């Protein structure tokens, strides 16, 4: 029998669901619709080229801890509306001193399945390379990576129920004041110019911002963690789809980040690293400039509380497949996005730990990485 999380994961889904306290509801992940994505022969080689439901991702997180006990631990830092745990992986080499941190979250919008796939790929890559890549090893010594593969757990599970729920975006909290619709857009619910622009007060709308800032337990959990760690976090990366964009704060058209020029420079460097892998173009800028204005985002909140580098990745594509990106694009999407994230993280690391210009180091490192990724096969 193959290893849990990288083998016959379908065999453990029901037991995991029951153990989590949501057996009746989560077991729908193995319904007829979920079976479209189930594989009898999932191997380590092809695991990262497929989408995985929440039970499979939970099993994978446990597997990462078991296989890498010296560098990987997990932390439950909140609960969803439906009382499911919100869990992150903490990755880094042990240190006697206080370490700096990188934050990454995926799956804040349920239908954006490529984003949990990227968080899984990112974890796999840094764990694969830190023993042989001197730069990754150095960053693992100086930084801890806090990675949430699925933030909107309730919504993500719901998006796997059947074809009618596949494109669910929001959380799963019920409406108030007689509104019978469910869910709040978690990326409109943060305490950053909340409710000012690009949102809706109609609880049936996709961009419903909630009854107040932090009305959603998921947004509160992230806010609480960021507040505790803000002095140590060098970069905040939140992963979305789609559009092939790198967004910098702020979403409000009349507000600019104090280090806007730096954010643009680093973002453009990341876009260059992304393009070097498979030739894909990513546009860099503020949301009002290249997408649309909106407020209450986690990215804006991170910059507002002093985290210097805050970026939103909008992964492939530009609308041909949209939120239903085919599985044969998972690998190339993750490869190029990894190069972009690596550039940002390298810049953030070198700016703090070296006195010379970080941009030179980051550009050289990510250019070499991109050249390697474009010629490598998935391991």
pLDDT tens for the chain, 379 residues long, are 333 334 333 333 333 333 344 544 454 444 434 444 445 455 667 999 999 999 999 999 999 999 999 999 999 999 999 999 999 999 999 988 889 999 999 999 999 999 999 999 999 999 999 999 999 999 999 999 999 999 999 999 999 999 999 999 999 999 998 899 999 999 999 999 999 999 999 999 999 999 999 999 999 999 999 999 999 999 999 999 999 999 999 999 999 999 999 999 999 999 999 999 999 999 999 999 999 999 999 999 999 999 999 999 999 999 999 999 999 999 999 999 999 999 999 999 999 999 544 455 555 555 555 555 555 544 4
Indicate the burial class of 258 (C-beta count within 10 angstroms; 0-12, 13-18, 19 or more): exposed
d(C-alpha 16, C-alpha 56), whole Å? 9
- The pLDDT assigned to 141 comes to 97
3-state secondary structure the chain: CCCCCCCCHHHHHHHHHHHCCCHHHHHHHHCCCHHHCCCCCCCHHHHCCCCCCHHHHHHHHHHHHHHCCCCEEEEEEEECCCCCEEEEEEECCCCCCCCEEEEEEECCCCCCCHHHHHHHHHHHHHHHHCCCCHHHHHHHHHEEEEEECCCCHHHHHHHCCCHHHCCCCCCCCECCCCCCCECCCHHHCCCCCCCCCCCECCCCCCCECCCCCCCCHHHHHHHHHHHHHCCCEEEEEEEEECCCEEEECCCCCCCCCCCHHHHHHHHHHHHHHHHHHHCCCCEEEEHHHHCCCCCCCHHHHHHHCCCCEEEEEEECCCCCCCCCCCHHHHHHHHHHHHHHHHHHHHHHHHHHHCCCCHHHHHHHHHHHHHHHHHHCCCC
The catalytic residue among 314, 320, 324, 335 is 314
pLDDT for the residue 96: 86
216 an active-site residue? Answer: no
* 136 alpha-carbon distance from chain centroid: 20
| Per-residue confidence (pLDDT) for residue 184, from 0 to 100 | 98
pLDDT on residue 47: 96
Greatest alpha-carbon pair distance for the chain in Å reads 59
Give the residue carrying structure tokens 């975006």: 169
Q: Do 337 and 273 contact (CB within 8 A), yes or no? A: no
| pLDDT score at 355 | 57
pLDDT confidence of residue 365: 56
Cβ-proximal residues to 258 (8 Å cutoff; 6+ apart), any chain: none
Closest of 302, 338, 339 to residue 119, by C-alpha? 338
* Confidence (pLDDT) at 9: 38
Phi-psi region of 330 (alpha: psi -120 to 50; beta: other; left: phi over 0): alpha
| CA distance linking residue 243 with residue 246, whole number of Å | 9
State the pLDDT at residue 45: 72
- Specify the pLDDT at position 112: 98
Distance between CA 331 and CA 343 in Å, rounded?
19
For residues 84 and 57, the answer to whether their CB atoms sit within 8 Å is no
**Cβ(193)–Cβ(251) below 8 Å:** yes
């Amino acid at each position: 029998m193959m290893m849990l999380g990288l083998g016959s994961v379908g065999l453990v889904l029901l037991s995991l669901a029951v153990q989590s306290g949501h057996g009746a509801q989560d077991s729908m992940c193995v319904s007829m619709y979920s079976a479209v994505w189930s594989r009898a022969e999932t191997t380590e080689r092809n695991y990262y080229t497929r989408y995985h439901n929440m039970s499979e991702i939970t099993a994978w997180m446990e597997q990462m801890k078991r296989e890498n006990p010296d560098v990987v631990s997990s932390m439950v830092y909140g609960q969803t509306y439906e009382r499911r745990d919100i869990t992150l992986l903490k990755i880094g080499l042990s240190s006697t001193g206080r370490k700096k941190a990188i934050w990454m979250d995926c799956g804040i919008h349920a239908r954006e399945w490529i984003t949990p796939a990227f968080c899984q790929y990112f974890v796999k890559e840094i764990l694969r390379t830190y023993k042989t890549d001197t730069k990754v090893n150095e960053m693992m010594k100086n930084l801890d990576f806090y990675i949430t593969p699925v933030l909107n757990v309730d919504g993500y599970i719901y998006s796997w129920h059947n074809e009618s729920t596949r494109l669910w975006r929001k959380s799963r909290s019920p409406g108030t004041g007689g509104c019978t619709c469910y869910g709040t857009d978690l990326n409109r619910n943060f305490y950053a110019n909340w409710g000012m622009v690009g949102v809706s007060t109609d609880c049936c709308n996709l961009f419903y911002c909630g009854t107040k800032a932090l009305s959603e337990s998921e947004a509160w959990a992230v806010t609480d963690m960021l507040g505790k760690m803000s002095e140590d976090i060098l970069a905040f990366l939140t992963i979305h789809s789609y559009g092939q964009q790198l967004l910098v704060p702020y979403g409000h058209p009349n507000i600019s980040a104090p280090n806007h020029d730096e954010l643009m420079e680093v973002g453009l460097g990341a876009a260059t690293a992304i393009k070097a892998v498979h030739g894909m173009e990513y546009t860099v800028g503020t949301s009002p400039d290249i997408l649309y204005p909106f407020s209450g985002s986690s990215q804006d909140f991170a910059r507002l509380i002093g985290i210097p580098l805050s970026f939103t990745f909008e992964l492939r594509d530009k609308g041909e497949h949209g939120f239903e990106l085919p599985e044969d694009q998972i690998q190339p999407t993750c490869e190029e996005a990894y190069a972009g994230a690596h550039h940002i993280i390298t810049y953030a690391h070198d700016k703090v730990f070296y006195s010379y210009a970080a941009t030179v180091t980051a550009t050289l490192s990510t250019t070499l990485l991109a050249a390697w990724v474009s010629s490598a096969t998935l391991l």
